[in-house]
Amino acid sequence: MTGIDDLPIRDELRGKSPYGAPQLDVPVRLNTNENPYPLPEELVARITERVAEAARHLNRYPDRDAIELRTELAGYLTRTAGHQVSVANVWAANGSNEVLQQLLQTFGGPGRTAIGFEPSYSMHALISRGTGTGWISGPRNADYTIDVDAARAAIAEHRPDVVFITSPNNPTGTAVEAETVLALHDAAQAARADAAGALVVIDEAYGEFSHRPSLLPLIEGRPRLVLSRTMSKAFGAAGLRLGYLAADPAVVDAVQLVRLPYHLSAVTQATALAALEHTDTLLGYVETLKAERDRLVSELRALGCEVTESDANFVQFGRFEDAHAAWQALLERGVLVRDNGVPGMLRVTAGTPAENDAFLDAVRELMKETS
């Protein structure tokens, strides 16, 4: 039988594993940071209308520049993220994963490197590898915050072309201070002062769930600082595949060099526009989820777990002697959480109150058994 390694694949892909959160059919699925609330019926009806209208024109390519969608996304950010941006500042793609891929195709690539501070979102390293960009794993403190001095030193040593800062961070839930972002941004520019500087990407996929304001205002006057966002979490639309960035218009111009023509289908654009019309309802669910996230933190602590402070729609908890065995024990009780490979720790996504109760009951039983 032919295996991957028998094929002439690129050397840097040999022996590597694909992204693979298990998609298991269990009663309580709290493993991929999805929003547990299905879209409200009035939004489903609006999507149906807008998609029907788009369907009448599917013989034509979609708006290549997604102007209406980018204008609405800019309006959403301006209203909710504390800083005015316009269509020229915003770019959209199929999930923020594609946004990140386009950024790495433009600013990374063979002979270049990207750094992230781990544990963090595993796709930063995987998309780097996929675009031929070298990956540097930067350090964190024991409490999972970014160690600013060590991060600055790693940047000075490796002179990366791209710096990833995930806030709130996945899988830890840790938010990053604006001062930390600025310190790393300045260090990255200083390290590459002889080139044209470095691109600093704030991955704010979970921004809407944070106790703190968005880091969006930091892009002002910093053309090498990019904010990445998604409709997968706060908008409850992971199945839509719509991510976006906000940055200086020059960054938006630059990614045009690598984007595929007509990459965002007319159906995607129509669906995203319908969802944006229902922003207020969807952000109402975000408030419920934030309260549930805070409840998970306090109840897990009351059960004797070690819990990492969270600004996201998930919570990192432990500390287990064998995290994978704990993951398996929860699965046997019908609750799927995530083992991200952080020693001793697991991650649970905030679900509905009933799902969270089921999860807490399962943890309670597990703690009883192991104590």
User: Which positions touch ligand PMP (CB under 6 A)?
Assistant: 33, 95-97, 121, 166, 170, 203, 205, 230, 232, 238, 243
Q: Which is nearer to ligand PMP, 205 or 270 (CB)?
A: 205
- Torsion sign, CA atoms 75, 166, 188, 127: negative
Q: What residue is closest to ligand PMP based on CB?
A: 95
Least separation, in Å, of the C-beta of 338 and ligand PMP?
10
Residue 274 φ/ψ region, left for φ over 0, alpha for ψ in the -120 to 50 degree band, beta for the rest = alpha
Residue 142 carries which DSSP code? Answer: T
Residues in the chain: 371
User: Cβ of residue 111: shortest distance to ligand PMP, in angstroms?
Assistant: 25
The residue type of 231 is: M
Measured from the CB atom, the residue of 97 and 106 that comes closer to ligand PMP is 97
Task: Pick the closer one to ligand PMP by CB: 243 or 318.
Answer: 243
- Closest CB to ligand PMP among residues 189, 230: 230
Q: 3-state class of 172 per DSSP?
A: coil
Name the residue nearer to ligand PMP (CB basis): 47 or 93.
93
Residue 30 has phi, psi (to 5 degrees) of: -125, 45
Q: What is the DSSP letter of 349?
A: E
CA distance 28 to 36: 10
Query: What minimum distance in Å lies between the beta carbon of 33 and ligand PMP?
Result: 5
Q: Nearest-CA neighbor of 306 among 292, 293, 319?
A: 319
- For ligand PMP, the closer of residues 131 and 166 by Cβ is 166
CB of 176 to ligand PMP, least distance (A): 12
**Shortest Cβ 31–ligand PMP spacing (Å):** 11
The least distance separating ligand PMP from the CB of residue 121, rounded to whole angstroms, comes to 4
Q: Among candidates 251, 213, 253, 209, which has minimal Cα distance to 232?
A: 209
With contact defined as beta carbons under 8 Å apart, do 115 and 154 qualify? yes
Residue 337 and residue 26 in contact, taking contact as beta carbons nearer than 8 Å: no
Beta carbons within 8 Å of 165's beta carbon, 6+ residues apart: 117, 146, 176, 180, 181, 184, 200, 201, 202, 203
Q: Which is nearer to ligand PMP, 36 or 95 (CB)?
A: 95
Residues linked to residue 113 through DSSP beta bridges, in sequence order = 134
Helix (H, G, I), strand (E, B) or coil at 92: strand
Q: Which is nearer to ligand PMP, 172 or 189 (CB)?
A: 172
Long-range contact pairs involving 353-359 (C-beta distance under 8 Å, separation at least 24): 353/292, 355/28, 355/30, 355/36, 356/30, 356/292, 356/295, 356/296, 358/27, 358/28, 358/334, 359/28, 359/30, 359/296, 359/330, 359/335
CB of 368 to ligand PMP, least distance (A): 32
Q: How far is the CB of 349 from ligand PMP (least distance, A)?
A: 10
Q: Which residue lies nearer to ligand PMP by CB, 84 or 279?
A: 279
* Least distance from ligand PMP to the Cβ atom of residue 145, Å: 16
